[in-house]
Amino acid sequence: MELFTQRKQDHIRLSLDDSHQTQGQSEIDKVELIHEALPEINFEEIHISQQRLGDEGKTPFLISSMTAGHNDSSRLNALLAKAASEKGWLMGVGSQRRELGDEKAAEEWRRVRAQAPQAELLGNIGISQLIYTSVDKIEKLVDSLEAKAMIVHTNPLQEALQVEGTPYFKGGLKALEQLVKQLSVPVILKETGCGFSQRTLKQVREAGVDVVDVSGLGGTHWGRIEASRAGQDSLQERAGANFANWGISTLQSLINAKEVKGEFEIWASGGVRTGIDAAKYLAMGAKVVGFAQPIIKAAMESEEALNQFMEQVEYELKIAMFCTGCVSLQNLYQKGVWTWKQH
């Protein structure tokens, strides 16, 4: 089997294994929403539409980027895109890196678009590829997908531990600034599960990106996955054990992003598992909340399981809003309905 295909299939398989999830209590469990016994609203009044990427979406939800560019991904991405389109969720695709050297790889998106012509899809390229790629070529990735925006993912820990990784990040900030100035669609900067420091976010603010998806520690840990892939007793596996919980939590990354006071939208992903988790992040200032591993787990089971999971997330968000007396997501954020849990 081709190395690229094997790597992508490994990523899906290993992401479903609980040993590759961040261990310990989720940071978001330190936050609780304040229950209102007299909410003074009717459940049917609640709506979860949200302003994001310059227009109003049906929901504040995102199917986070997971996979692309191999035989099994086309069917999976078509299934996800169809569900996203029907439910009004955004969807990030997996890395489009393969298209840079193989135009035939764009066929995957034609098949996906045939299934979901109205889906709001987000392109995706790694920053270590962006550094060596012209904006014109990135524009072609946007065109092939008919993308609403372009995600640039940054993943230093994963690249350092991946046997065939590309840990070349020098010039990343300059490349990002150039892309923001020239690309025809908004640019989203995303981590892949290790989060953002205030220092980095201040640099990002100056670069002018439209969105930061903080994608912090809490869910699938790519350091764990790459250490496992490297093989028993390999250098990467031995080192990876010491980086098994490396990163800044999604919660702390969101707080960092709020304190930096940038003009970018803040999205939250990384360890989000329920509609209640989502409600907490939205109450704290996230515009969009992303789900990855629970979505892929449901999709691998069946289309019905995928739809049921997405419906449950939306329902749980609405219940959380009802029980805090909020008819809209703007209400949820502005009313100050969260607090730190008392131990």
Count of CB atoms within 10 A of residue 184's CB? 11
Residue 19 reports pLDDT greater than 80: no
Confidence of residue 1 (pLDDT cuts 50, 70, 90): very low
Task: Please state the pTM of the whole predicted model.
Answer: 0.94
Residue 21 reports pLDDT greater than 90: no
Question: What residue has token string 């086309």?
Answer: 74
> Contact, 15 vs 220, CB < 8 A?
yes
Q: Three-state secondary structure along 56-100?
A: EECCCEEECCCCCCCHHHHHHHHHHHHHHHHHCCEEECCCCHHHH
pLDDT tens profile 292-315:
999 999 999 999 999 999 999 999
Question: Buried (b) or exposed (e) across 107-126, using 16+ Cβ within 10 A?
Answer: ebbeebbebbeebbbbbbbb
CB neighbour list of residue 321: distance below 8 Å, 6 or more residues apart: 46, 48, 279, 327, 329, 331, 332
pLDDT tens profile 162-207:
988 899 999 999 999 999 999 999 999 999 999 999 999 999 999 9
At residue 16, φ and ψ (nearest 5 deg) are -85, -10
pLDDT average, residue stretch 264-283: 98
Can you read off the two tokens belonging to residue 31? 């936050």
Question: Which amino acid would we find at residue 119?
Answer: A
Count of CB atoms within 10 A of residue 166's CB? 15
More confident site: 230 or 126: 126
pLDDT tens profile 67-84:
755 567 788 899 999 999
For the chain, which domains are there? Answer: 47-340 (3.20.20.70)
Confidence of residue 6 (pLDDT cuts 50, 70, 90): low
pLDDT average, residue stretch 93-107: 90
How many CA within 13 A on the CB side of residue 209?
Answer: 28
pLDDT tens profile 313-325:
999 999 999 999 9
Mean pLDDT across the chain: 92
Can you read off the two tokens belonging to residue 199? 């220092």
Can you read off the two tokens belonging to residue 128? 């270590």
More confident site: 102 or 23: 102
Can you read off the two tokens belonging to residue 294? 């629970």
DSSP state of 148: S
pLDDT at 329: 99
Residue 7 reports pLDDT greater than 60: no
Grouping H, G, I as helix, E, B as strand and the rest as coil, residue 9 is helix
Residue 267, beta-bridge partner list:
213, 288
pLDDT tens profile 116-128:
999 999 999 999 9
End-to-end CA distance of the chain: 52
Max mean pLDDT range (31-45, 61-75, 98-112): 31-45
CB neighbour list of residue 82: distance below 8 Å, 6 or more residues apart: 115, 116, 119
DSSP state of 28: G
Count of CB atoms within 10 A of residue 306's CB? 24
Q: Three-state secondary structure along 150-216?
A: EEEEECHHHHHHCCCCCCCCCCHHHHHHHHHHHCCCCEEEEECCCCCCHHHHHHHHHHCCCEEECCC
Bridging pattern class, strands 55-57 and 50-52: antiparallel
